[in-house]
Amino acid sequence: MRQPLLTSTASYQALQTHALDAKQWQMRDLFAQDPQRFERLSADAAGLFLDYSKNRLDGRTLALLANLARERGVERLRDAMFAGEKINLTEHRAVLHTALRAPKDKQITVDGQDITHDVHAVLERIRTFSDAVRSGQWRGHTGREITDIVNIGIGGSDLGPKMVCLALRQFAHPRLTMHFVSNVDGHDMDAALSRVNPETTLFIIASKTFTTAETMMNANTARSWFLKHASAQSGEQALAKHFVAVSTNVEAIKKFGIDPDNMFPFWDWVGGRYSVWSAIGLPVALCVGYGYFADFLAGAHALDEHFRTAPIEQNLPMILALVGFWNREFLGCPSVSIAPYHQDLNRFPAYLQQLDMESNGKRVTRAGDIITDYETGPVIWGDVGTNGQHAYFQLLHQGTDVTPIDFIAALRPAHEFLNHHAALLANCFAQSEAFMKGKMADEVRLDLAGQGGENSAAEIERLVPHKTFPGNRPSNTILMEYLTPATLGALIALYEHKTFVQGALWDVNSFDQWGVELGKVLAKKIEAELNGASHPEQHDGSTNGLIARAKAAI
Ligand code: G6Q
């Protein structure tokens, strides 16, 4: 059904008028005027605390944004998603990653099929298999315990399990080393294979479709390498002890030579970038054990329940989405930087980059109309603190673009170096304070004048503009007590639902990815040309030139 154009709605127009005022506000003043601002503009749920007080908004802004969410039917769409309606309109699919973390007794059906039962049947198989590998009961073809696990997958079949295994490093099995090969670049495979022993390595081929070119090439290479290096007597039979698959495509798996008993299925209503909760999370269960994997799912479920039931004004994903929407739509911020002040979350920005940009990087509405008069998803990027501070934070403080930042931190560390943790948190909080307050010209002048008279008046005036920070730059801070499987699950779910809410506001389909699909076919033709299997066709001058250079070098 065609929605009224976003910009034509009464609540959007009310926000536009309100923004004319809000653009003049200084956050310093907002804090000075309201001593309760932090209490008022913060909320918590499922072990996560969100401080959004360091944004250029007030209570009225939020009320107007909540009105917009209501007028755009965000709650209705949310309920439709949880109920398994086919809200992925271009692929005619339900969107039910939330069902993957729902408890056994929650009945959810898709096309008349009780999917909770199916989900828990696969979880049971994940439990049995991961227990067997971890305990050493599952052995390689020469009887040795598994020491290395190589996950072969790309995009949604790589970023989630890789990010989570790194984030939960503290909970990892000491005997198992995890490797993730995603790139078709042979250097990626070479780096993994040069570190593992075929007798003690388990390969997981993770691909929803089992047709993705990079994954298939990597899977075939791993298979050949294994057969070449496996003990001569066992050959093909040995494969069963070393290759398992995660997919929705049984036929393709059989063709590849993997026993369907060694296949962990999932379903078309799980989008790739939302699939870490499904059997795509098998590396996580192997790495941290099924118990912690179940805690990870439970943490996400707690956030789901909050998202499903809390009123918009107290609903963490709604708030995060509305604040982000405000910054993007009305304050003109083209990107969002993710700054986890936690080394173990160092792949989290890359994970969110896919989640958000693949979901909301769209230019047509759900009805197919081209969007011309408002912006959709921003660029998402970032790296861990404090590293970013010594690199790109310069632009965030003094560049011409305003980039909102999400700071993420755990209040307690999982190590004993408490002085490090105090320094880490001090940096995190100091940065958000500096972005908000800035450093005004008068403050700079005072500072320079106070430096023992070493600066002349003229020198002070020359330096003032360079040392002035405009401030008034927005940020959110998300805190948890510890980074655990449950808080990590909740954190990911928070961003999944944030992305969902923004997609609903922009009226885009957050669940397809035609841009990725195009990439899947584009390279095939040129690959055949490079391999000499077909004659180069007439491309444009640049592409012809590049192909000719590569052919001359191969
Ligand atoms: C995710 C995307 C994409 C996908 C990969 C891998 O939402 O669809 O990143 O996950 O292209 O696809 P396969 O799992 O089918 O190999």
Tens digit of each residue's pLDDT (9 = 90 or more) over 295-308: 999 999 999 999 99
Token readout for 82 is 């949880």
Strands ordered across the beta sheet of 42-45? 42-45, 48-51, 475-480, 405-410, 335-341, 379-382
Which residues, at least 6 apart from 221, have a Cβ–Cβ distance to it below 8 Å?
Answer: 186, 189
Task: Note whether 539 and 407 are within 8 A (CB).
Answer: no
Alpha-carbon gap, residue 381 to 373, rounded angstroms: 25
Which residue, by CA, sits nearest to atom 5 of ligand 1? 155
Contact residues of ligand 1, CB 6 A cut-off = 154-157, 207-209, 212, 215, 271-273, 358, 513, 516
Please report how the helices 10-22 and 59-71 are oriented relative to each other, as an axis angle in degrees rounded to 10.
160
Question: For the segment 386-414, what is each residue's pLDDT rounded down to a tens digit?
Answer: 999 999 999 999 999 999 999 999 999 99
Question: For the segment 323-355, what is each residue's pLDDT rounded down to a tens digit?
Answer: 999 999 999 999 999 999 999 999 999 999 999
Tell me if residue 358 is catalytic.
yes
CB atoms within 10 A of CB 27: 22
Closest ligand 1 atom number to CA of residue 212: 16
Alpha-carbon gap, residue 361 to 363, rounded angstroms: 7
Peptide bond into 386 cis (omega under 30): yes
pTM above 0.85, yes or no: yes
Instruction: Give me ligand 1 centre to Cα 166, in Å.
Output: 20
Task: Note whether 360 and 502 are within 8 A (CB).
Answer: yes
Is 90 exceeded by the pLDDT of residue 177?
Answer: yes
Please report how the helices 441-449 and 457-467 are oriented relative to each other, as an axis angle in degrees rounded to 10.
140
Secondary structure (3-state) at 139: strand
- Which pLDDT value is given to residue 512? 96
Instruction: Give me ligand 1 centre to Cα 207, in Å.
Output: 7
Tell me if residue 520 is catalytic.
yes
Secondary structure (3-state) at 462: helix
Q: Choosing from 229, 467, 520, 539, which is the catalytic residue? A: 520
Instruction: Give me ligand 1 centre to Cα 208, in Å.
Output: 7
How, if at all, do strands 48-51 and 475-480 pair?
Answer: antiparallel
Q: Choosing from 358, 421, 437, 498, which is the catalytic residue? A: 358
Gyration radius of the chain over CA positions: 26
- Give one DSSP letter per residue of 143-198, joined into a string: SPBP-EEEEE--GGGTHHHHHHHHHTGGG--TTPEEEEE--SSHHHHHHHHTT--G
Which residue, by CA, sits nearest to atom 16 of ligand 1? 207
Cα dihedral across residues 119, 120, 125, 127: positive or negative: positive
Is 90 exceeded by the pLDDT of residue 126?
Answer: yes
Question: For the segment 50-109, what is each residue's pLDDT rounded down to a tens digit?
Answer: 999 999 999 999 999 999 999 999 999 999 999 999 999 999 999 999 999 999 999 999
pLDDT mean across residues, the chain:
95
Which residue, by CA, sits nearest to atom 8 of ligand 1? 272
Residue-wise burial string across 175-196, b where 16 or more C-beta atoms lie within 10 A, e elsewhere: ebbbbbbbebeeebbeebbeeb
Instruction: Give me ligand 1 centre to Cα 253, in Å.
Output: 16
CB atoms within 10 A of CB 128: 12
Best probe residue, ligand 1, of 249, 512, 516 (max atoms within 8 Å of C-beta): 516
Which tops the pLDDT comparison, 248 or 235? 248
Is 70 exceeded by the pLDDT of residue 244?
Answer: yes
Best probe residue, ligand 1, of 158, 183, 513 (max atoms within 8 Å of C-beta): 513
Question: For the segment 18-64, what is each residue's pLDDT rounded down to a tens digit?
Answer: 999 999 999 999 999 999 999 999 999 999 999 999 999 999 999 99
